[in-house]
Amino acid sequence: MFMRLSWLCAVLVGGAALLSLSACSDSSDVGLGVGPPSDSLQGGQPLTLDVSPSLADTARDVPITGENARQPPNRDAWRFLAGTVNDPASGPGVIEAEGYVDFAGRNSLPSAIASADDADSLTAELRLPTVYLHGIADGEISVEVYDLTEEATMDSARADASFEADEMNPASVSTAQISPTDSLVTIELRQNWIRQNLTVLQDTSDDGLSFEDNFSGFKIVAPNSEAVVGFSSSDAALRLTHVSDTASADFPALKTFTHITERNAASAPTGYKLLQGGVGAGLTMEWDFDAPPLDTLRNAPLNRAEIFVPVDTSELNRRTGPDFSRPLPSGFRVVATRHPDPDTPSCSNIFGVLGLATGNRACTLPLVSSAAPAAALVSNDIARPIFAQSFRRVRETNGTSDPPLFTTFRVFAADRQSADSGSRATLQPGLPTTVPVLIPDQTAPEDPGPPRATLTVTPL
């Protein structure tokens, strides 16, 4: 367990010595901008102490990567990904992403398109604005596009889901060479595909819903690439153009989804734990309230608390090869699992209104969004009730005690459009991503140090 000097003193001297711990503390122990609070309770000199939890890289939570523009929440920044990447920061792990996109119908078309009876008079293309690149940026990527064989329920689908496509038909749709650094990727669809789908493409009945009932969308893959490319869900379109007069009509994206798999097991470098975007590999943290030093603080008033999970962005940048592009994550997600004891209060009783995980078994903790990408940070407003109530519960009364509020805290990468998205956004699933994140473990040097809780207590 990582302990700073003040913790070491607390362990050696014990709870009874808290009155004299100020001799063991120095100003360098005050981390994360937390100093002696202005609202200190009566007693000794406030002490700011750090203690790290036990760490395990066993957390798994496959992320949501599906979105439907007509189903809440409507996230304008949503994206879908395609390609493969082998990131130098995650050892031999190869991440593969397959993109799916379906389009909304139209209630009208330009007359030249609506009346066209010859497929050769039309062109069709996918227009995909690029918003994400992870991998080798140099060179072109070979992309394959296939018809989906049936309507796919992409709404809030998780990354391990998949939908059937007509991949056995070599003439299904199209192949193309794209540049991952282009701001807009266009993929021309084959004339044979237009001919087979002309009636459906011209169907504007029922305000376009007939088109949606009969058009299932596409699967986009790049199985031999060295990069994963992301496309904007809100701005993607299927465009029909009448060749002779250039009249055009765009079908906007309605549903998108990304299927993400891991070909080889990723591994963290020595001294780190690995969060792996896309496959939901996270970090499990646990604080033991019955062991030193937390067991010495049960009766000490708690003034402030923060939970700090640092990210070694310098090490990530160092593990980047030539022409390799890796976006840093703009967000994280922390989920605390409630103790199964029947007297454990609910998430809303602990924090008030708060996003909850399935069945109220876990609480999703709001984070300080601006701390990303350098850290996942749980502020005093959230962390103090966790530790204060846990201390109160484990404090023995009449020879009995209750367990702490939470058994584990799980940390995941959850990318955002911006690190300035606000704490409420950190309760929601992040954008589809494939990036790894390196968290220093207990062997890490003091800067940045391992994950830790920073507690300010006032000895009585």
The per-residue DSSP string of 191-260 comes to HHHHHHHHHHHT--GGGGHHHHHH---EEEE-TT-SEEEEEETTT-EEEEEETTT--EEEEEEEEEEEEE
What is the pLDDT averaged over residues 355-374? 85
Residue 250's pLDDT band, with cuts at 50, 70 and 90, is very high
In the predicted structure, residue 20 carries a pLDDT above the cut 50: no
Domain ranges (residues) in the chain: 47-57+277-457, 64-262
pLDDT for 30: 32
Evaluate whether 119 touches 156 at the Cβ level (below 8 Å): no
Distances (CA, A) of 71 to 153, 155, 236, 255: 12, 7, 17, 10
- Of 5-9, 200-204, 216-220, 244-248, least confident by mean pLDDT is 5-9
Per-residue pLDDT tens over the stretch 274-285 = 999 999 999 999
Residue with more model confidence, 406 or 20: 406
By three-state DSSP, how is residue 80 classified? strand
In the predicted structure, residue 449 carries a pLDDT above the cut 80: yes
Residue 232's pLDDT band, with cuts at 50, 70 and 90, is very high
Residue 179's pLDDT band, with cuts at 50, 70 and 90, is very high
In the predicted structure, residue 128 carries a pLDDT above the cut 50: yes
What is the pLDDT averaged over residues 332-343? 93
The Cα–Cα gap between 131 and 33 comes to 34
Question: Highest mean pLDDT range out of 35-49, 123-137, 418-432?
Answer: 123-137
E strand map for 26-117: 47-51, 54-60, 67-68, 79-86, 94-103
In the predicted structure, residue 355 carries a pLDDT above the cut 70: no
pLDDT for 16: 36
